[in-house]
C-alpha cells in the first residue's frame, strides 16, 4: 500500500497513474477539498474564474499530453494588441501597443476540470480528506503516517511543497539535516499571491472599444486580463494585486481595487456581478512563513528531492521538486510521472 500525502495536481496524477499500474494507494489530504493550488470558482450563468493556476503554453508538453489523454480541450488566452499601462499614481493610465507574444492557453471549463476529470477516474474510498499529516515513523518495512487518523503503508509519497512538509511533518528517524535545511529554504510558487476577479453580465470593454488588459506599476491591481469562458459568452476580468495589500481587510482591498479600475476603465467596471479574491498567504495549506527571505523558485528542482529515502520507502514529489518547470502545473505533472516511474521500477525488483 502506498500513501500519497497531498491531493493537488501532483498527488492526484500520481494516484491516477498508480491505478493504471494496478498498484494500491490511498491519498491523504489536509483540506476538505481536492486540487490544492488549482481552484476554479463556478457560479451559475457566470464565467468560471481562476483563483489559482490558469495559464500554460506550448513549452509545457507533459501537461498538454495529459489534457489530450483525458480528452480535455484548451483554448487560447485572449490578449489585446493595445493595453492599459499605468506607470505613475499621478498620471492617467496610457494605452500602449504590445508586441505579439507566443500565445498562452487555458483549460476549457476552468483549470479545475483537470482535477475533476481525474477525480472521476479514482475511487472515492481512496481519497481521505481533512487529514493533515504531522508525523511519519519508518520502522523497517512499516511506515506509520499520523494525521487525525493513523495510516500504515509500505511506501509514502509526499506530494506537497517542501517548505510545508519541512515545517509541519516530523520524521522518526529524523531526515538528514541537509535535506531539511534545503526544504526549509525552498520557495513555494505563488504562495503569497493575491488573485482577484470580477464577473460581468456584459462585456462593456467591447461596447466601449477599450482594452480589457491592464499592467500597472501603481496597484493595487498590477495585472488584469480577460477571463471569459471558453465560448466567449460569459464574461470576467481576472488578475493579481500587489501582495502587500494582504494586510488590509477584504472590504478595504475591494474598495481600493474598484477605485483604481474605475479610474482606468471608467464607471462601467463598477457594474460587475461578483467580486472574488483569494489571498493565498492566508491559506495555511499553501503558505508557510520562511526562516529567511527566499527568492522566487529558490531551491526548486534541487536534486536532493529526487533521491529516495529510508530504504526507498519515502519519496518526495510535488511541483517544486521537478527538474523542469518546478512550481508550475507542468512541474506537477512531471513530478507525478517521475514518482510513478520510480515506484514501478522499485516494485519490479
Ligand atoms: C495564485 C496562483 C496562480 C498560479 N498560476 C499558475 C499558472 O498560471 N500556471 C501554472 O502552470 N501554474 C500556476 N500556479 C502554480 C500551480 O498551481 C502549481 O504548480 C500546482 O498546482 C502544484 O501542484 P502540487 O500538487 O505540486 O501542489 P499543491 O497544489 O500545493 O498540492 C499540495 C496538496 O497538499 C496538501 N497538504 C498540504 N499540507 C498537507 C499535510 N500536512 N497533510 C496532507 N496534505 C497536505 C494541500 O492542501 C494541497 O492539496 C499558480 C499557483 C497559484 C497559487
Q: pLDDT tens digits, residue range 310-321?
A: 999 999 999 999
Report pTM: 0.98
Query: pLDDT tier at 175 (50, 70, 90 boundaries)?
Result: very high
List pLDDT tens digits, range 105-135. Answer: 999 999 999 999 999 999 999 999 999 999 9
Q: Is 94 helix (H, G, I), strand (E, B) or coil?
A: strand
The closest of 130, 133, 125, 175 to 152, measured between CA atoms, is 133
Q: What is the mean pLDDT of residues 261-275?
A: 97
Q: What angle separates helix 9-21 from helix 112-121, to the nearest 10 degrees?
A: 30
Cα–Cα distance, 157 to 330 (Å, whole number): 18
pLDDT value of position 246: 96
Which residues, listed in sequence order, are joined to residue 44 by a DSSP beta bridge?
none
> Which residue bears the cell 495589500?
245
Q: What is the mean pLDDT of residues 189-202?
A: 98
Q: What is the mean pLDDT of residues 171-185?
A: 97
Q: Which CATH code is given to the segment(s) 39-107+192-284?
A: 3.90.660.10
Q: What is the dihedral of CA 139, 124, 11, 59, to 10 degrees?
A: 160
List pLDDT tens digits, range 37-76. Answer: 999 999 999 999 999 999 999 999 999 999 999 999 999 9
Lookup: cell for 314: 519515502
For the cut 90, the answer to whether the pLDDT of residue 300 exceeds it is yes
pLDDT value of position 70: 98
Cα–Cα distance, 158 to 36 (Å, whole number): 13
Q: Nearest C-alpha to atom 21 of ligand 1 is from which residue?
A: 37
Which atom of ligand 1 is closest in space to residue 51's alpha carbon? 1
pLDDT value of position 349: 81
Percent of the chain with pLDDT over 70: 100
Name the strand (E) or helix (H) holding 252.
Answer: helix 250-265
Q: What is the mean pLDDT of residues 236-243?
A: 97
Pocket of ligand 1 from Cβ distances under 6 Å: 5-11, 28-31, 36-38, 52-56, 132-133, 159-161, 164, 168, 189-190, 193, 195, 280, 285-286, 318-319, 327-329, 331-332
Which atom of ligand 1 is closest in space to residue 60's alpha carbon? 11
Q: Do residues 212 and 197 lie in contact, with contact meaning Cβ atoms separated by under 8 Å? A: no
Q: Do residues 307 and 342 lie in contact, with contact meaning Cβ atoms separated by under 8 Å? A: no
Q: Is 82 helix (H, G, I), strand (E, B) or coil?
A: strand
For the cut 90, the answer to whether the pLDDT of residue 194 exceeds it is yes
The residues of the chain that CATH labels 3.90.660.10 are: 39-107+192-284
Query: pLDDT tier at 2 (50, 70, 90 boundaries)?
Result: very high
The residues of the chain that CATH labels 3.50.50.60 are: 1-38+111-189+286-349
Q: What is the mean pLDDT of residues 190-216?
A: 97
Q: Nearest C-alpha to atom 5 of ligand 1 is from which residue?
A: 53
Q: What is the mean pLDDT of residues 181-193?
A: 98
Q: Is 200 helix (H, G, I), strand (E, B) or coil?
A: strand
pLDDT value of position 214: 98
Which atom of ligand 1 is closest in space to residue 280's alpha carbon? 53
Instruction: CATH number for 1-38+111-189+286-349: choose from 3.40.50.11690, 3.50.50.60, 1.20.140.90, 2.60.40.10.
Output: 3.50.50.60
Which atom of ligand 1 is closest in space to residue 286's alpha carbon? 30
Cα–Cα distance, 272 to 258 (Å, whole number): 10
Q: What is the mean pLDDT of residues 130-148?
A: 97
List pLDDT tens digits, range 83-113. Answer: 999 999 888 999 999 999 999 999 999 999 9
What average pLDDT does the chain have?
97
pLDDT value of position 35: 98
Amino acid at each position: 500500500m502506498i500513501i500519497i500525502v497531498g491531493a493537488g495536481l501532483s498527488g492526484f496524477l500520481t494516484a491516477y497513474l498508480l491505478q493504471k499500474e494496478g498498484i494500491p494507494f490511498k491519498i491523504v489530504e489536509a483540506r476538505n477539498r481536492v486540487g490544492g493550488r488549482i481552484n476554479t470558482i463556478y457560479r451559475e450563468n457566470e464565467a468560471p474564474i481562476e483563483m489559482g493556476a490558469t495559464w500554460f503554453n506550448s513549452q509545457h508538453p507533459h501537461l498538454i499530453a495529459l489534457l489530450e489523454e483525458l480528452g480535455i480541450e484548451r483554448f487560447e488566452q485572449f490578449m489585446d494588441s493595445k493595453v492599459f499601462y499605468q506607470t505613475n499614481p499621478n498620471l492617467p493610465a496610457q494605452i500602449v501597443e504590445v508586441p505579439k507574444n507566443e500565445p498562452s492557453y487555458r483549460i476549457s471549463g476552468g483549470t479545475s476540470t483537470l482535477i475533476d476529470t481525474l477525480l472521476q477516474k479514482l475511487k472515492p474510498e481512496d481519497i481521505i480528506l481533512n487529514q493533515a499529516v504531522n508525523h511519519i515513523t519508518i520502522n523497517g518495512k512499516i511506515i506509520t503516517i499520523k494525521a487525525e487518523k493513523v495510516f500504515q503503508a509500505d511506501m509514502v509519497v509526499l506530494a506537497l511543497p517542501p517548505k510545508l512538509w519541512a515545517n509541519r511533518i516530523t520524521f522518526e528517524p529524523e531526515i538528514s539535516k541537509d535535506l531539511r535545511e534545503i526544504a526549509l529554504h525552498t520557495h513555494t510558487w505563488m504562495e503569497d499571491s493575491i488573485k482577484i476577479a470580477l464577473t460581468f453580465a456584459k462585456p462593456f470593454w467591447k461596447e466601449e472599444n477599450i482594452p480589457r488588459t491592464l499592467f500597472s506599476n501603481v496597484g493595487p491591481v498590477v495585472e488584469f486580463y480577460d477571463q471569459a469562458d471558453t465560448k466567449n459568452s460569459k464574461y470576467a476580468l481576472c488578475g493579481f494585486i500587489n501582495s502587500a495589500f494582504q494586510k488590509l481587510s477584504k472590504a478595504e482591498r475591494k474598495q481600493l481595487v474598484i477605485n483604481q479600475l474605475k479610474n482606468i476603465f471608467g464607471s462601467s467596471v463598477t457594474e460587475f456581478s461578483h467580486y472574488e479574491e483569494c489571498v493565498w498567504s492566508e491559506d495555511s495549506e499553501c503558505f508557510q512563513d520562511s526562516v529567511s527571505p527566499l527568492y522566487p523558485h529558490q531551491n526548486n528542482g534541487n536534486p536532493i528531492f529526487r533521491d529516495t529515502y529510508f530504504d526507498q520507502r519515502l519519496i518526495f514529489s510535488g511541483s517544486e521538486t521537478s527538474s523542469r518547470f518546478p512550481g508550475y502545473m507542468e512541474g506537477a505533472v512531471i513530478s507525478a510521472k517521475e514518482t510513478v516511474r520510480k515506484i514501478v521500477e522499485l516494485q519490479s525488483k
